[in-house]
Copies of this chain bind each other. A is one copy, B any other.
């Protein structure tokens, strides 16, 4: 199964304005993720949702900007902005137009650079994941391409009670997909809505 989980504001932004290498989530973007790693222990509901996110994926697909956009990202000394030990701990397939050899990080994450578009990336991710699920990690443009191509099975939205007003909008350029609401989980800090995405 191919799934995507994404935190969004009430007004539909998955990142705030003025994203940069120093501030990849954009202004106030971190407020979207308070349910996941805010101060204090998570609520039972948030912990349950986070557990689903952290378990079960065998491979990830992400966009070039999410790997680490900005000037110099194809300088081979640039290792993205996820630090030495990225949280993925699995193969990550990065959509790009530039060939680059795989980049092995600490902790089990290896970034593979794919130039054949979303279908190519998904095919490689599926092979790497084996029996496990593939997660589309983002950003917005990558999620949109997966939905528009009919390649995403489930979208898990974490709607934070935050209005950003501008930034990167998650749900646009989707074509005409059919959404089916599977499950809703209320937590004190977000509304978690799970959708099945039809073609």
Contact = CB atoms under 8 A, between A and B. Distances in A.
A177 interface: yes
A14 interface: no
15 contacts: A10-B171, A11-B12, A11-B174, A161-B180, A161-B195, A162-B179, A163-B171, A163-B174, A165-B172, A181-B189, A181-B190, A181-B191, A184-B184, A186-B186, A191-B191
- The copy count of this chain in the complex is 2
A186 to B, nearest CB: 4
Given A191-B181, A191-B184, A191-B191, A10 B161 contact: no
A8 to B, nearest CB: 10
Which of A157, A179, A195 has its CB near the most chain B CB atoms (within 10 A)?
A: A179
Interface residues of A, number: 28
Contacts of A186: 183-184, 186
A12 B175 CA distance: 15
